[in-house]
Chain A
Amino acid sequence: MAFRVGVLQFPGTCDEVDALLAAERAVGAGNAELLWHRDRDLRGVDAVVVPGGFSYGDYLRAGAIAALSPAMESVAAFARDGGPVLGICNGFQVLCEAGLLPGTMLTNLSRRFNFRQVTLRVEAADTAWTAATAAGQELSIPAKHQTGRWYAPDDLLDELHANDQVVFTYAADDRPNGSVANVAGVCNAGRNVVGLMPHPEHATDPLTGSADGLLLFRSPAEVAGVR
């Protein structure tokens, strides 16, 4: 039985092709498909990826308009039922704006668009998207963003730490955006929705520096016992 992954596409999304390729490499060719933002039907996929880009031009705030799209209503219902959802970069911003993930994103402290390979540390290996990794494992993944300074007020951050909802941090000497507590990614209370700023879909082949990103894409199928 195949495990199928849907990749959500908004006007302004730009990383959907790499996300499709990464998903296919993880779950098999032909098992990943694009989902259009105006379509409420998720076509029975087993996992949803909200990829990076500049959805709806990032008008108002990054991800704010995309969070209100028809497809996101279905993604929210899918997530509430425990379906695995991964938000990457702009997708992470969309999931935060949609209230599916805690916190929000601010402009990088440097004010600059930052594009480089970062070292991510896995803080929680028991989520739908990190089951194929090990706690404490370091992953080499590219990051590219200008609005990536994840922020949560102190009381929310304390709650997330208490519930182990910080999934990824940047390695100690690697601070690409100035995020609170060096957070790179978080999950929801159900641990099925994960978001991160760096781009695992761009790290799927040793030829381009790292294949560590595939571990994320393999995780939900592994949890489901498909592969």
Chain B
Amino acid sequence: MPHARILIRPKAGILDPQGVAVEQALPQLGFQPAENVRIGRLVELDVADAAELEAICDKLLANPLIEDYEIQVDA
């Protein structure tokens, strides 16, 4: 079955408190500052029909109001 990776990210303009927390933690650990830290999700799955992935994302894996997704299928 084809292997797929789905990258799910908070939409631009959505405030991501987890990202802010990580951004604030970095200088505390002595690292140089980082900006625009955004935390999303990676879903890996083997699917029988890769053509269904977009519908799977729309219906279950992502919430289109707040998240964008990117589908990568291994050749």
Contact = CB atoms under 8 A, between A and B. Distances in A.
SS class of chain A's interface: helix, strand, loop or mixed?
loop
A103 B17 contact: no
Given A104-B66, A152-B65, A109 B15 contact: yes
Contact of B63 (A97, A107, A110, A156): A97
Interface in B10-64: 14-15, 17-18, 20-21, 60-61, 63
Contact of A60 (B18, B20, B60): B60
User: Quick one: which of B14, B18, B21, B65 has the most chain A CB within 10 A?
Assistant: B65
B39 to A, nearest CB: 10
Nearest to B11: A153
Given A60-B60, A64-B60, A151 B21 contact: no
Contacts of B17: 106-111
Interface string A167-210: 00000000000000000000000000000000000000000000
11 contacts: A60-B61, A68-B60, A97-B63, A104-B66, A108-B17, A111-B18, A111-B20, A151-B14, A151-B66, A152-B65, A156-B65
B18 A107 contact: yes
Nearest to A104: B65
Interface string A52-68: 00000000110010001
Nearest to A102: B65
Given A111-B17, A111-B18, A153 B65 contact: yes
